[in-house]
Amino acid sequence: MNNSEINIRKASIKDIETVIDLGSMLQDESKIYEPNLNFDRKSAIEHYSAELNNDDALIIVAEIDNKIVGYQYSYVTILDYLDSQNIQCTFEAIILLPEYRSKGIGNQITTVSEKWAVEDKKVNRIRANIYNGNNASEQLHLNDGFKPYSTEYIKYIK
């Protein structure tokens, strides 16, 4: 990668098609962890378009030379089963085009999302949904101070 400037910004409706293309790539790559994933482009466009107007959601894109090379989707929820520290941000999806991975862009994206969550939404904790075995995503989050929290086991019934 050359010395092009990375621009991390909030996504807009004009970005939806590219974000959905990246989301489709994320779903395809995630099938090794979750074989039952089903990508429905129309539903994804409807969901992400609505999330652009949700004050408790954030979709950000990473651009290089005016080309979107990745995105992250995060949202905030209230954990009413906890007595205190009950506002949580979930980092639900993050993906970069393969040629832009391992260059620090993922870290920049998560830093922007974390700043939004902590400063704007006043969250008390951030959760990252990562499939077991997705070592690159696990390492990205471990390097950012995340710690393993729980283990979920799934049994597929045929």
All domains in the chain, ordered by first residue:
6-143 (3.40.630.30)
Residues 6+ apart with CB under 8 A from 107: 140, 143, 144
Per-residue pLDDT of the chain (158 residues; tens, 9 = 90+): 455 799 999 999 999 999 999 999 999 999 999 888 889 999 999 999 999 999 999 999 999 999 999 999 999 998 877 666 689 999 999 999 999 999 999 999 999 999 999 999 999 999 998 988 899 899 999 999 999 888 888 888 88
Residue carrying structure tokens 């993050």: 94
- Would you state the pLDDT for residue 85? 64
Q: Kindly provide the residue ranges of all beta strands, DSSP E only, lying in the chain, ordered along the sequence.
A: 6-10, 57-64, 67-78, 87-96, 125-128
From CA 90, how far away is CA 75, in angstroms rounded? 5
pTM, two decimal places: 0.89
Given a contact cutoff of 8 angstroms between Cβ atoms, the answer to whether 78 and 87 are in contact is yes
